[in-house]
A and B are shown apart, each in its own frame.
Chain A
Amino acid sequence: QKEVEQDPGPLSVPEGAIVSLNCTYSNSAFQYFMWYRQYSRKGPELLMYTYSSGNKEDGRFTAQVDKSSKYISLFIRDSQPSDSATYLCAMTAYSDTGANSKLTFGKGITLSVRP
C-alpha cells in the first residue's frame, strides 16, 4: 500500500462547479499537509498548507484535514477554466530533528474545467 493515495482522475467539470479532490494516507506520523497545483510544463505551485485537523479557507479554495480518518480534501468553489491543471496532495512528518523537508506526494489528479 502506498503511503499516499489520490483519486486518479481525470476529472472534468463545467465552469462554476464545486470540485472536491481527495487523498488518503496510511502513515499516522504525517502532520503537515499541502496542496500543489501544476500546470503543463511547469513546476508545482504551493496552493495551501495546514497542520491541524479542520478546515482552512483561502479565497475559492478550502483545505480540509481529518487526521482520525487519515483523509484530506481540497474544495474549489466556482471553478474557472484557469483552474484546469494537475492537483497534487503532499504531506510530511515531524521528526525529532525537525527535518521534515521530505514531502510525500500523491500521484496527482488532472482537472479540466469546461467553459
Chain B
Amino acid sequence: KAGVTQTPRYLIKTRGQQVTLSCSPISGHRSVSWYQQTPGQGLQFLFEYFSETQRNKGNFPGRFSGRQFSNSRSEMNVSTLELGDSALYLCASSPRSGVGSYEQYFGPGTRLTVT
C-alpha cells in the first residue's frame, strides 16, 4: 500500500506571499492531520480533518487553514507568510478519527523556506 504523499517536497517563498501544500493519505484513510516541525518548537499540531470537516485544531493563527476533499486528499494554506513560518510541514493520515486516531502515519513533509 502506498504511503502518505506530500507535494511539493521543497518550496521557497517570500514574506507576505501565500502558499498551498497538498497531502494524499494512505488509501482508505479518511483522517488527515497537519503538523509543523521546527528545531525550536519541535512537532506541533495544526489541525485534523475527517470527512471534509475540521475535527480538531491546534494553537496557530488564522493565517493557517486547511481543507479536505471528498477523496480524503487535503490541502493546507498559509497566507501572509512570515519568516517564522519556515518549517517542515508534515501530513499524517489515520484509518480512524476520534478514538484510535492516535495511530497516525506521516508523509515525508514539505520543507518551506520563507525569505
Contacts and interface: CB of A to CB of B under 8 A. Distances in A.
Interface of B: 4, 31, 33, 35, 41-45, 48, 50, 55-56, 58, 90, 92, 94, 97-99, 101-109
B104 A100 contact: no
Contact of A103 (B98, B104, B107): B104
B58 A101 contact: no
Contacts of A45: 106
Interface residues of A, number: 26
Contacts of A36: 106
A77 to B, nearest CB: 24
Contact of A101 (B41, B55, B106): B55
B45 A44 contact: no
A101 B109 contact: no
A103 to B, nearest CB: 6
A107 B105 CA distance: 18
Contact of A88 (B43, B99, B108, B109): B43
Interface string A34-59: 10100001111110010000000000
